[in-house]
Amino acid sequence: MSIFGKLLTALRGGANEAGQAVVDSQAMRILDQEIRDAEAALRQSKHHLTEVMAKRQLNANKAGELEAKHAELEASASAALAKGEEGLALEVAERLVELQGELEAETTIVAQFDESIASLRAAIRDSENKVRQLKQQVSVVKATDSVQKAQSAVAAQHSGQTSRMHTAMESLERIKERQQLRGAQMQAAEQLHDEQSGASLEARLKAAGIGARPSQAEDILARLRRPAGEAPAKSDETP
């Protein structure tokens, strides 16, 4: 196949895929319209059935009239024979033959109408059952579609919530890190201030027991504890 032919095939394939995508996206709408079309055809079939039944009734009425006429002429023929009117009875008999043919024709037509009516009724019942079943299945399909959409929405929401929770946890960790950094900076600043002011050195000397002088209260207690005449102990520090 030439390159041009392949391009045409690809275009046809793309058009078919695009058309199928449109059909899939509008599947519910198309299905609803197809059901409406089926219901419209069903109503039309019922209308045709009523027309056929009306025509059948007209032919049945005509057949009834012919039967009544036939019975009347038979009675007339019998009466003519009873009176010895052979010629008149023969004329009546000939008319009875004609009526018999007309009656048979009408009876045949009525029978044909009955067959058509029975066939149409069966077809209508079958169509009604199929439309009813189709509607039930469509209801199930729509319910399933709604459930699946709800599940998808929940899944998407859960995914979004998970993402938001993850983002929130990251934000919390960043806040903690900033607080720890700020605390370390404050501690370092305080330490630097102590070093610059000499407080840190004094604290270390005091902790080592160097340069610390007892308080006046301690001096009083020490003096009271000494026996009379005992000289006070000399301090280790150089005056």
- Rounded CA-CA distance 77/93 in Å is 7
- For residue 121, the model assigns a pLDDT of 92
- For residue 152, the model assigns a pLDDT of 78
- CB of 226 closer than 8 Å to CB of 232: yes
- Over residues 47-88, the pLDDT tens digits come to 999 999 999 999 999 999 999 999 998 898 899 888 888 888
pLDDT by residue, tens only, the chain of 239 residues: 555 555 556 556 655 555 555 555 577 788 888 888 988 999 999 999 999 999 999 999 999 999 999 999 889 889 988 888 888 889 989 999 999 999 999 999 999 999 999 999 999 999 999 888 888 888 888 888 778 778 877 777 666 566 666 777 777 788 788 888 888 888 877 777 666 666 666 666 666 666 555 556 766 777 777 766 555 555 544 44
The rounded radius of gyration (Å) of the Cα atoms in the chain is 58
- Rounded CA-CA distance 116/45 in Å is 12
- Over residues 194-211, the pLDDT tens digits come to 666 666 666 666 666 665
117 CB-contact burial (10 Å; exposed 0-12 / middle 13-18 / buried 19+):
middle
C-alpha distances in Å from residue 226, one per residue of 193, 216, 235, 236: 43, 16, 15, 18
- What the block records as the tokens of 220 is 């009083």
- Rounded CA-CA distance 157/113 in Å is 64
Element (H, E) at 29: helix 27-82
CB count in 10 Å sphere of residue 126: 10
C-alpha distances in Å from residue 30, one per residue of 1, 25, 119, 133, 238: 37, 10, 30, 17, 109
Question: Cβ neighbours of residue 59 under 8 Å, at least 6 residues apart?
Answer: 106, 109, 110, 113
SS3 239: coil
Task: At 235, give phi and psi (nearest 5°).
Answer: -75, 150
Domains of the chain: 3-151 (1.10.287)
